[in-house]
Chains A and B, each alone.
Chain A
Amino acid sequence: MAAETVSQHDEDDSELTRLLGAYIACATGWLVLSTAVGIIVAFKFAYPEFLTNPYFSFGRLRPIHTNDTFYAWASVALVGLVFYVACKTCATRLYSIKLGWITLALFNIAAVLGTIALDIGFNNGDQEYREWIWWIEALLLIAILTAAYNLIMTVARRKDDDIYLSNWYTMGGIIWTLILSIVAFIPLYQYGLGQVAVQGFFMHNAVGMWFTPLTLGLFYYVLPKLLNRPIYSYALGVLAFWTNLVFYPIIGAHHFIFSPLPWWLQTLAIVFSVAMLVPVWAGSANFLLTMRGRWEQVRRSYALPFVFVGVLGYLLGSTQGTFEAFRSLQAVWHLTNFTVGHSHLTMYTFITFGIWGGIYALVPRATGRAPSLMLTGLHFWLATVGMTIYILALSIGGTIQGLVWMSGAPFIDSVTAIAPDWLWRSIGGSLMFISHLVFAWNVWIMLGGGERVASRIEPIKEAA
């Protein structure tokens, strides 16, 4: 009987590992594609005559870059990782491996069709991050729905009474996103100011109510396991969960400061943007205090440097978002490239580094194969240096751009003033893209291209 149980567990783990590997492989392919498109878009600013064919026009490529990054790279990688975390924290197998494969297929079909549709000129108008036409968005919604069902049913099969904190965040994120997606895609009020309000609700919450809780849920599992130390304060994590839920949903309206949206809605968005400092600082402090005194272990780890940068990205990006919401600063930064720098500080420095940390922590443990420390380090430093150049260039350039606009000078003066920063952005972006190629090679090694070398697998220790 015991032998049968062990055998069943091995089979379950093997199926889960194959599924996790497929999610990570697909996500990595989408990361390389979407950021290759991002590089083309970046170089168009520095060299406007670069690739003028309609299929390579800015208006078509930009939403391909953003939608594929959101829904094909980050979403697919995170769903694969949270399935794995749910199984491990709940000491059970995934509710349905088959449904997991269906979810992955739906994400990929939606991304392929969405990419083709955008490139041949079919889109949902200028609704940022929801440019895919409605029936492709419906496929994405079904993918999230199937993922939600599988995740919740898996957690429901847990052996303990308690639901571990990671699963609070991941289940919360996936349920909120279902609500968010349904509200965003119902056509009844998608016109005039109603559409503006819904757009603010969707575009901001797609980051804060989907990617953020899933990535934080990942941190609450990976950090304690790699450091062999519990999270500093579990209660603080719970407080951050609820305050994120209370404060976050309304703050998207801060993207439309000075618009005809009701003034009280704009004010509420600003006030709750300040309130968001509570979950952000509480969560960041919780992670950093969990790492305290273990910096040598962080430095020598494959995964922890990525998690550390992810935590810093969460702290800095979200705090910057609070300050950006102030009317006095919006007057300078609104519609400038500063916002693009901010979105990369959050989606790249926080979310993407966080996902990389989760992949380097969990995939070698699942497959028994790990990349070399040198290539992992190369990935880390190329991405870190590239991202730093990218964000500094757009933050400085965007501020100059806004100040030139406010001075009343001709628009072309702002273009001339920011031109050097656009070139630096392209250089930083190129380093980031090269790091993605190194990462793709590392994924290939972890998923079967490399030998099983036990000494390279970062131990996830167990408490005595």
Chain B
Amino acid sequence: MVGGPPLGSALVALAGGAITLWVIVAAIRMLISPGETDPSHPKYSVLRGDR
């Protein structure tokens, strides 16, 4: 496909791509090892009965 200034598109793609890669790495780390074993963590509080 043609059209538009290539440098502008490349800069946009690079900046967006860098941010995306960074969060992909973070997401994979959290998927492999979620941690959060402390019983006082908020994710357990929702199981402890509603009011």
What residues of chain A lie closer than 8 Å to B8, measured between beta carbons? 263-264, 267
C-alpha gap A61/B31 in the complex (Å): 45
| Interface pair A164/B42, CB less than 8 Å apart | yes
When A243-B23, A274-B20, A282-B31 are in contact, do A225 and B46 touch as well, CB less than 8 Å? yes
Chain B contributes a number of interface residues (CB within 8 A of A) equal to 32
C-alpha gap A462/B26 in the complex (Å): 31
C-alpha gap A9/B51 in the complex (Å): 8
| Interface pair A88/B4, CB less than 8 Å apart | no
A53 at interface, CB cutoff 8 A: no
| Interface pair B27/A263, CB less than 8 Å apart | no
Query: Which residues of A come within 8 Å of B, CB atoms?
Result: 9, 87-89, 91-92, 160, 162, 164-166, 221, 224-225, 228-236, 239-240, 243, 246-247, 262-264, 266-268, 271-272, 274-275, 278, 281-282, 285, 289, 327-328, 331, 462-463
Selected A-B contacts with CB under 8 Å, 17 pairs: A89-B46, A162-B42, A165-B42, A165-B43, A225-B46, A236-B27, A236-B30, A239-B27, A239-B30, A262-B4, A264-B5, A267-B9, A271-B12, A274-B20, A275-B20, A285-B31, A289-B31
| Interface pair B43/A231, CB less than 8 Å apart | yes
Q: Residue B47 contacts which of A233, A246, A247, A462 (CB distance < 8 angstroms)?
A: A462
C-alpha gap A271/B12 in the complex (Å): 8
What residues of chain A lie closer than 8 Å to B13, measured between beta carbons? 267, 271
Q: Residue A275 contacts which of B5, B16, B44 (CB distance < 8 angstroms)?
A: B16
- Most B CB contacts (10 A, CB to CB) among A166, A234, A240 go to A234
C-alpha gap A42/B9 in the complex (Å): 40
When A236-B27, A271-B13 are in contact, do A221 and B46 touch as well, CB less than 8 Å? yes
A259 to chain B: closest CB distance in Å?
Answer: 11
| Interface pair B46/A282, CB less than 8 Å apart | no
Number of A-B contacts (CB under 8 A): 109
- Most A CB contacts (10 A, CB to CB) among B16, B27, B35, B49 go to B27
| Interface pair A235/B34, CB less than 8 Å apart | yes
- Most A CB contacts (10 A, CB to CB) among B23, B26, B48 go to B23
C-alpha gap A164/B36 in the complex (Å): 14
C-alpha gap A87/B35 in the complex (Å): 28
C-alpha gap A266/B3 in the complex (Å): 11
C-alpha gap A92/B50 in the complex (Å): 9
C-alpha gap A266/B5 in the complex (Å): 12
C-alpha gap A271/B17 in the complex (Å): 7
| Interface pair B19/A88, CB less than 8 Å apart | no
Name A235's closest neighbour in chain B (CB-CB): B30
C-alpha gap A11/B33 in the complex (Å): 44
- Most A CB contacts (10 A, CB to CB) among B12, B19, B24 go to B12
| Interface pair B27/A230, CB less than 8 Å apart | no
Name A230's closest neighbour in chain B (CB-CB): B43
| Interface pair A463/B27, CB less than 8 Å apart | no
B14 to chain A: closest CB distance in Å?
Answer: 9
Q: Residue A233 contacts which of B9, B30, B42, B51 (CB distance < 8 angstroms)?
A: B30
| Interface pair B43/A224, CB less than 8 Å apart | yes
What residues of chain A lie closer than 8 Å to B30, measured between beta carbons? 233, 235-236, 239, 282
C-alpha gap A243/B27 in the complex (Å): 10
| Interface pair A92/B31, CB less than 8 Å apart | no
When A285-B31, A463-B44, A463-B48 are in contact, do A234 and B4 touch as well, CB less than 8 Å? no
C-alpha gap A87/B51 in the complex (Å): 8
Q: Residue B46 contacts which of A224, A243, A274, A328 (CB distance < 8 angstroms)?
A: A224
C-alpha gap A166/B36 in the complex (Å): 17
C-alpha gap A165/B26 in the complex (Å): 18
| Interface pair B19/A234, CB less than 8 Å apart | no
| Interface pair B36/A234, CB less than 8 Å apart | yes
Name B14's closest neighbour in chain A (CB-CB): A271
C-alpha gap A101/B6 in the complex (Å): 54
| Interface pair B43/A91, CB less than 8 Å apart | no
Q: Residue A281 contacts which of B3, B9, B27, B47 (CB distance < 8 angstroms)?
A: B27
What residues of chain A lie closer than 8 Å to B47, measured between beta carbons? 224-225, 228-230, 462-463
Question: Which A-B residue pairs are the 3 nearest by beta carbons?
Answer: A263-B4, A233-B34, A271-B16
Q: Residue B31 contacts which of A229, A231, A233, A463 (CB distance < 8 angstroms)?
A: A233
B42 to chain A: closest CB distance in Å?
Answer: 4
| Interface pair A264/B48, CB less than 8 Å apart | no
| Interface pair B12/A264, CB less than 8 Å apart | yes
| Interface pair A239/B1, CB less than 8 Å apart | no
B23 to chain A: closest CB distance in Å?
Answer: 5
| Interface pair A278/B23, CB less than 8 Å apart | yes
What residues of chain B lie closer than 8 Å to A327, measured between beta carbons? 1
A405 to chain B: closest CB distance in Å?
Answer: 17
When A164-B42, A228-B47, A230-B47 are in contact, do A268 and B36 touch as well, CB less than 8 Å? no
